[in-house]
Amino acid sequence: MEIAGYLAAVLIGVSLGLIGGGGSILTVPVFVYLLHVQPELAATYSLFVVGSCSLVGGARAYFKKLIDFKVVLYFGLPSLLSVFLVRWFLFPLIPPHLFTIGSLDISRGVFLMVLFALLMLAAAVSMIRSDSKTPMPAIGKKRMGGLIIQGLLIGAITGLLGAGGGFLIIPALVLISRLPMKIAVGTSLTIMAISSYFGFFTTLSHYNIHWGQLLSFTAIAVLGIFVGTALSNKIPGQSLKKGFGWFVLAIGLFILIQELCFA
């Protein structure tokens, strides 16, 4: 299972390079189910892996001029604030055991994974159903306020679940902010690099990190991102959006079934 986990690291990098998200969707389950890391620690590991891959992908997008830096500013800074507040104040308040439903014991780990899956399903449906081709509006006060609110919400999710947020950032940027898919990918990678590293390093002292495992996994994932970015140059943006939606839907259903039926 450990070998399968490291092989999956390649797919995480490919996912981030190809569609600007999905890396955290894979990273948390891979660490939990294949490398047998506790969900809380897996969430922390995910922040580092996704942050490292996103940094590489974001740098490549920068040189191709596929980043909207105004969106990074108005979306990214509120996201950082949310990550900090959630990681430092909310996350430690969640008890290890929450409640029991019949024979199903709902621990903090199970709760986080189920919440993760439900958010993924909602995001997936939005991406699959949307065929909007509305032009991107200019950043006025109304749009600026929308970006700030989106950043706060997705930052909170990033801090709570250890997800870089790409599986939610991409739908938000494409469906609400009307960014073209390929610019949304580069912008998403930049936001994720900032928020993921911030979440990891501000709470690093809370966990006992196995650096050998984490750095090896990250290095393999970074290699995958070069494959993903090369593939993205050959695939139309609309096809990427639909494919991303179906990908998120499949992983979300898997996690939900795994946690509720086989926990």
Q: What is the pLDDT of residues 84-140, one digit of tens each?
A: 888 788 877 888 888 887 777 788 778 877 887 887 787 778 767 765 554 444 455
> What is the pLDDT at residue 134?
45
The Cα-based distances of 5 to 29, 56, 153 in angstroms read: 10, 21, 30
Residue 32's domain comprises: 2-261
Q: Give the model confidence (pLDDT) of 228-244 as tens digits.
A: 878 877 777 667 667 77
Show the tokens assigned to 194. Answer: 């900032």
CB atoms inside a 10 Å sphere around CB 228: 24
Burial string for 15-54 (b: 16+ CB within 10 Å, else e) reads bbbbbbbbbbbbbbbbbbbbbebebbbbbbbbbbbbbbbb
Dihedral (CA of 28, 29, 35, 39) sign: positive
Least confident of 30-44, 75-89, 185-199, 229-243: 229-243
Pick the most confident of 23-37, 64-78, 139-153: 64-78
More confident residue, 126 or 201: 201
More confident residue, 246 or 116: 246
Q: Cβ distance 170 to 184 under 8 Å?
A: yes
What is the β-pairing status of strands 97-101 and 104-107? antiparallel
The count of residues in the chain is: 263
Show the tokens assigned to 147. Answer: 């970006």
Cβ neighbours for 213, distance < 8 A, ≥ 6 positions apart: 35
Cβ neighbours for 231, distance < 8 A, ≥ 6 positions apart: 14, 17, 18
Domain count, the chain: 1
> What is the pLDDT at residue 214?
94
Percentage of the chain exceeding pLDDT 90:
8
